Structure 1
Amino acid sequence: MTSIEGIITTIERHSRNAGRYLIFVDGQYAFTVFEDVLIRHRLFKGETIDPGKMQLVLEDEERQKAWSDALKQVGRRPRSEKELRQYLKRRGYLPPLIDTIIGKLKEQNYIDDASFAAQWTEQRIYSQKKGRQLIKQELKMKGVAPATIQTTLDQVPPEEEERLAYELGHKKWKATSGTTMDKKRKTAAFLMRRGYSSRITGNVIRRLADTYRDEADDSDAEDMFDWPET
């Protein structure tokens, strides 16, 4: 507990951090607080502050700072609960305070792993054209529960995923040099790395091979891939 005791002699607005104030006790800088903390604890010029009150102020300031840090993170992009917990831990906040902040964020719907998983999946499927296997791995790393991941991925129409895989595979096929077999091998490997299943990859490769069958040479007569059927 701090030993500061005396009279608040000056309160100055922080020059680089809006909403925060520098508190001076007996003419010496003592601490900095958010405006909400300033008002809540009646930290006005001429007020007396003792060690007990100072401790309450600093604890409240720590909570307010953790809350502000968390809001900045969720304001930049949706976050999973695990991501927020890891971030707050890196910022030096203790587990009890982190639990409090996470609970408050959930109550006010700032974090919701089901909503996060849905947004993450939509962005990865449509904007980045990634397959569900890679998305599943990413969501697992974000700490989303397996049941939530499965429910989210079940909402993705398989035919839509295959359509996007075909668009991606078509571009790769056209950009790949060599024989038809080279194109099959390289395009398939590319799609698998993007997280598409062997079933979808096989369907795409067959469609591409049919589309460009007239370009095939005699050495491509035998298909080295044993793709699963649709």
Structure 2
Amino acid sequence: MKITDIKKTKRGCYALFVDGEFLFSVHIDILVQYKIKANEDISIERLEEIRQQSDLKKAKEKALALLSRKSMTKKQLTEKLKRYAGEYEAEQAADRMQELNLIDDEDYARRCAKDLTNFKGFAPLRVKQELVRRGIDCETAELAADELDIDERAAIAGIIRRKFLRFLNDKKDIAKVVNSLARLGYGFDDIKYVINNLDEFD
């Protein structure tokens, strides 16, 4: 097999042609590292190594771009990278971001837990569930939720006063309020107590 041509692409990579046919594009750093030149013989094994290293380089650059826009868990980053790279490259790139401390699931869990409580009104139970859904392991999610130290009945009262006060005069509406609060992770006993004793939480 012979590299018959190398052409720069619009995205800044280099298209590799082998035996007259386009094979794949190569990152410029990999092109230099492997000293790839036209009109040179190359083995299938060497080509596969170049392809994998180039794809890994691209995945790492994509990971940096994604993390520059928003914080993510390692799982979230890996899943997003799989849209642009293979599973191996996505996992390796995410591992590298973790080594560089650009992703930190424990720190993410603590910050996200506070945001979920402050902005969405989630109870610790729902916070834990949401963190696990985002890729945080159960133990880390539970620790982050426990650190919130929320007075759940006071939180329920605050949500009712902000959103549901006008719905407490009808049994059907009250049932909807109870279900809405339960979806936020609050217990039925606490919800019913607060509804029946709302004046205690002035």
Per the normalisation by structure 1, the TM-score is 0.68
Q: Is the 8 A contact 1:170 1:208 kept in 2?
A: no
**Aligned residue identity for 1:20:** C
Whether 1:11 and 2:4 are equivalent positions in the alignment is no
Q: Is the 8 A contact 2:7 2:16 kept in 1?
A: yes
Number of residue pairs matched?
201
Choose which of 150, 162, 169 in structure 1 pairs with 2:142: 150
Give CA deviations for 1:81-135 in whole Å, capped at 9, x if unaligned. Answer: 333344455656244x454333212101122221221222122111222222111
**Aligned residue identity for 1:61:** S
Unpaired runs of 5+ residues, structure 2, are none
Choose which of 151, 161, 165 in structure 2 pairs with 1:170: 161
- Give 1 or 2 for the bigger CA radius of gyration: 1
Q: Is the 8 A contact 2:3 2:16 kept in 1?
A: no
Select between 59-68 and 184-193 the one with higher mean Cα deviation. 184-193
Work out the CA distance in 1 between the residues paired with 2:127 and 2:83. 26
Equivalent residues in 2 for 1:39-188, closer than 5 Å: 39-43=32-36, 48-51=40-43, 53-88=46-81, 93-95=86-88, 97-159=89-151, 163-176=154-167, 178-179=169-170, 184-188=174-178
Select between 138-147 and 49-58 the one with higher mean Cα deviation. 49-58
What percentage of residue pairs aligned between the two structures are identical? 21
Unpaired runs of 5+ residues, structure 1, are 213-230
Q: Is the 8 A contact 2:178 2:191 kept in 1?
A: yes
Work out the CA distance in 2 between the residues paired with 1:28 and 1:149. 51
Per the normalisation by structure 2, the TM-score is 0.76
Change over 3 Å in CA distance of 1:129–1:49 after alignment to 2: farther
Cα RMSD for the two superposed structures: 3.3
**Aligned residue identity for 1:195:** G
1:178: Cα distance to partner? 3.4
1:11: Cα distance to partner? 3.0
